[in-house]
A and B are shown apart, each in its own frame.
Chain A
Amino acid sequence: MTHTKSLFSKIIQNIDLTFYISIAYLLFIGITAIYSASSNLENPTKYITTQFIALSIGAVGMLFLAGFSYQYYKHFSKFVYILSCILLVSVLIFGTQHKGTKGWFDLPFFSFQPVEITKIMLILSLAAYIDKHWNEISKLSIFVKTLCLTLGHFVLIMLQPDFSSTLSYFPITLILLYVAGARLTHLCAVVLYGALAVLIPLLVTFFKLQPELLESNKLVNFFVTASTNWHKAIIILGVIILIMILIKWFLNKLRIPIGWAYPIIFLSIILAGSFSSIVVNKSLKEYQRKRLIVFLKPEIDSRGAGYNIIQSKIAIGSGKFSGKKFFKGTQTQLGFLPEQRTDFIFSVIGEEGGYVLAQLTILFYFLFIWRALVVAKHARDRFGSLVAMGIATMFAFYAIINLGMVMGLMPVTGLPLLLLSYGGSSMLSSMFAIGILISIHIRRFY
Chain B
Amino acid sequence: MSWSTDNRFAYNLFSEKHKVIVILLMVCFAVLSMRLFYMQIIKGNYYRNISEHQRINTTHERAFRGLIYDTNGKVIVNNIPNYVALFYPFEQQYEPTEESIEKLSKILQKDIKSSIEKSWRYGRVMKLADNLTIDEVFKIQENKLFLPGITVVEEPKRVCSSPIENAHVIGYVNELRAEELDNMENTELKVGDIIGRCGIEQSYDKYLRGKDGGLSFEVNARGQHQKTFDYEPPAIGNSLYLTIDNDLQKIAYNALRNSSSGKGAAVAIDVKTGAIKAFVSCPSYDLNKISSAKDYKRYLKNKKLPFFNRCIQALYPPGSTFKIVTFVAALEHLHFNPYKVEDCLGKFELGDRVYSCSSKAGHRKLNLISAMAYSCNVYFYILGLDLGVRVIVDYAKKFRLGEKTGIDIYSEKAGFVPTPEWKKSKMKVPWLKGDTVILSIGQGALWVTPLQMASLMATVANNGVSYKPYFVEEIKDSVTKETVFKHTPVKNEDLELDPNTWKQLHKALESAVDYGTAKRTKFKHISVAAKTGTAENPQGEDHAWVVAYAPADNPQIALAVIVENGGFGGSVSVPVAREIFKKYFNIYEEPEEELNGGTNDTH
B226 interface hit (Cβ, 8 Å)? yes
Would you give the shortest CB distance from A330 to chain B, in whole angstroms? 5
Q: Is the CB of B33 within 8 A of A362?
A: yes
Cα distance A333–B365 in the bound complex, in angstroms? 98
Cα distance A136–B198 in the bound complex, in angstroms? 87
CB < 8 Å: which of B4, B13, B15, B36 contacts A358? B36
A380 interface hit (Cβ, 8 Å)? yes
Which A residues are in CB contact (< 8 Å) with B33? 359, 362-363
A273 interface hit (Cβ, 8 Å)? no
Which A residues are in CB contact (< 8 Å) with B15? 377
B587 interface hit (Cβ, 8 Å)? no
Which A residues are in CB contact (< 8 Å) with B35? 404, 407, 409
Q: Is the CB of B44 within 8 A of A317?
A: yes
Q: Is the CB of A331 within 8 A of B2?
A: no
Interface residues on A, range: 35 or more
A373 interface hit (Cβ, 8 Å)? yes
Q: Which of B22, B35, B36, B220 has the most CB of A within 10 A?
A: B36
Which A residues are in CB contact (< 8 Å) with B31? 409
B339 interface hit (Cβ, 8 Å)? no
Which B residues are in CB contact (< 8 Å) with A382? 1-3, 6, 14
Cα distance A63–B116 in the bound complex, in angstroms? 64
B300 interface hit (Cβ, 8 Å)? no
Which B residues are in CB contact (< 8 Å) with A362? 29, 32-33, 36
Contact residues, B31-83 vs A (CB, 8 A): 31-33, 35-37, 39-41, 43-48, 50-52, 54-55
Which B residues are in CB contact (< 8 Å) with A336? 51, 54-55, 220-221
The verdict on A407 contacting B32 (CB below 8 Å), with A179-B18, A320-B40, A350-B40 known, is yes
Q: Which of B22, B52, B122 has the most CB of A within 10 A?
A: B22
Q: Is the CB of B18 within 8 A of A377?
A: yes
Return the chain B residue nearest A379 by Cβ.
B3
Cα distance A114–B1 in the bound complex, in angstroms? 30
Contact residues, A68-95 vs B (CB, 8 A): none
A219 interface hit (Cβ, 8 Å)? no
CB < 8 Å: which of B2, B3, B29 contacts A366? B29
Q: Is the CB of A179 within 8 A of B17?
A: yes
Proximity bits, A357-385, B CB within 8 Å = 1, else 0:
01100110110011001001101111101
B334 interface hit (Cβ, 8 Å)? no
Q: Is the CB of A175 within 8 A of B45?
A: no
Proximity bits, A375-402, B CB within 8 Å = 1, else 0:
0110111110100010001001000100
Which A residues are in CB contact (< 8 Å) with B36? 316, 350, 355, 358-359, 362, 407
Q: Is the CB of A321 within 8 A of B21?
A: no
Q: Is the CB of B47 within 8 A of A334?
A: no
Proximity bits, B360-388, A CB within 8 Å = 1, else 0:
00000000000000000000000000000
B28 interface hit (Cβ, 8 Å)? yes
CB < 8 Å: which of A175, A319, A334, A389 contacts B218? A334
Q: Is the CB of A315 within 8 A of B40?
A: no
The interface size of chain B toward A, counting residues with CB under 8 Å, comes to 44
The verdict on A315 contacting B28 (CB below 8 Å), with A321-B44, A380-B3 known, is no
Q: Is the CB of A320 within 8 A of B32?
A: no
A318 interface hit (Cβ, 8 Å)? yes
Which A residues are in CB contact (< 8 Å) with B2? 380-382
Q: Is the CB of A178 within 8 A of B17?
A: yes
Which B residues are in CB contact (< 8 Å) with A409? 31-32, 35
Cα distance A334–B123 in the bound complex, in angstroms? 15
Return the chain A residue nearest B46 by Cβ.
A317
Return the chain B residue nearest A338 by Cβ.
B221
Cα distance A197–B100 in the bound complex, in angstroms? 47
Q: Is the CB of B55 within 8 A of A317?
A: no
The verdict on A403 contacting B48 (CB below 8 Å), with A334-B221, A355-B37 known, is no
Which A residues are in CB contact (< 8 Å) with B86? none
Would you give the shortest CB distance from A18 to chain B, in whole angstroms? 14
B25 interface hit (Cβ, 8 Å)? yes
Which A residues are in CB contact (< 8 Å) with B3? 379-382, 385
Q: Is the CB of A321 within 8 A of B41?
A: yes
B345 interface hit (Cβ, 8 Å)? no
CB < 8 Å: which of A317, A355, A376, A403 contacts B18? A376
Q: Is the CB of A369 within 8 A of B18?
A: no
Contact residues, A336-359 vs B (CB, 8 A): 336, 350, 354-355, 358-359
Q: Which of B14, B17, B32, B52 has the most CB of A within 10 A?
A: B32
CB < 8 Å: which of A302, A320, A385 contacts B45? A320
Q: Is the CB of B40 within 8 A of A321?
A: yes
B222 interface hit (Cβ, 8 Å)? yes
Which A residues are in CB contact (< 8 Å) with B29? 362, 365-366, 400
CB < 8 Å: which of A302, A370, A381 contacts B22? A370
Proximity bits, B212-231, A CB within 8 Å = 1, else 0:
00000011111000100000
- Interface class of chain B by DSSP: helix
A44 interface hit (Cβ, 8 Å)? no
Which B residues are in CB contact (< 8 Å) with A302? 122
A134 interface hit (Cβ, 8 Å)? yes
Which B residues are in CB contact (< 8 Å) with A186? none
Q: Is the CB of B40 within 8 A of A366?
A: no
Q: Which of B6, B35, B52, B226 has the most CB of A within 10 A?
A: B35
The verdict on A334 contacting B18 (CB below 8 Å), with A362-B29, A380-B4 known, is no
Q: Is the CB of A335 within 8 A of B44?
A: no
Cα distance A363–B37 in the bound complex, in angstroms? 13
A314 interface hit (Cβ, 8 Å)? yes
Q: Is the CB of A320 within 8 A of B25?
A: no
Q: Is the CB of B21 within 8 A of A318?
A: no
Would you give the shortest CB distance from B30 to chain A, in whole angstroms? 9
A313 interface hit (Cβ, 8 Å)? yes
Cα distance A366–B31 in the bound complex, in angstroms? 12
The verdict on A318 contacting B47 (CB below 8 Å), with A355-B40, A407-B39 known, is yes
Contact residues, A178-216 vs B (CB, 8 A): 178-179, 181
Which B residues are in CB contact (< 8 Å) with A315? 51
Would you give the shortest CB distance from A123 to chain B, in whole angstroms? 15
Contact residues, A288-345 vs B (CB, 8 A): 302-303, 313-321, 330-331, 334-336
Cα distance A396–B29 in the bound complex, in angstroms? 9
Cα distance A370–B4 in the bound complex, in angstroms? 23
Which A residues are in CB contact (< 8 Å) with B39? 313, 316-317, 350, 407
Proximity bits, A423-443, B CB within 8 Å = 1, else 0:
000000000000000000000
Q: Is the CB of A179 within 8 A of B21?
A: yes
Q: Is the CB of B41 within 8 A of A355?
A: yes
CB < 8 Å: which of B17, B25, B48 contacts A317? B48
Return the chain A residue nearest B24 by Cβ.
A396
Cα distance A169–B593 in the bound complex, in angstroms? 110
Return the chain A residue nearest B219 by Cβ.
A334
Q: Is the CB of B220 within 8 A of A334?
A: yes
Return the chain A residue nearest B54 by Cβ.
A336
Which A residues are in CB contact (< 8 Å) with B41? 320-321, 355
Return the chain B residue nearest A409 by Cβ.
B35
Which A residues are in CB contact (< 8 Å) with B122? 302-303
Cα distance A178–B17 in the bound complex, in angstroms? 8
Q: Is the CB of A381 within 8 A of B25?
A: no
Which A residues are in CB contact (< 8 Å) with B14? 179, 181, 382, 385
Extra pairs beyond A303-B122, A334-B219, A383-B1 (15, CB < 8 Å): A134-B10, A181-B13, A181-B14, A317-B40, A317-B51, A320-B41, A334-B226, A336-B221, A362-B33, A376-B18, A377-B18, A382-B3, A385-B3, A404-B32, A404-B35
18 A-B residue pairs with Cβ-Cβ distance under 8 Å, sorted by A, are: A179-B14, A179-B17, A303-B122, A314-B47, A317-B43, A331-B51, A334-B220, A334-B226, A335-B222, A336-B54, A336-B221, A359-B36, A363-B33, A373-B22, A377-B15, A396-B25, A404-B32, A409-B35
Q: Which 10 A-B pairs have the closest CB atoms?
A: A317-B47, A320-B44, A318-B51, A335-B221, A334-B220, A381-B2, A355-B40, A318-B47, A318-B48, A366-B29
A interface list, Cβ under 8 A from B: 131, 134, 175, 178-179, 181, 302-303, 313-321, 330-331, 334-336, 350, 354-355, 358-359, 362-363, 365-366, 369-370, 373, 376-377, 379-383, 385, 389, 393, 396, 400, 403-404, 407, 409
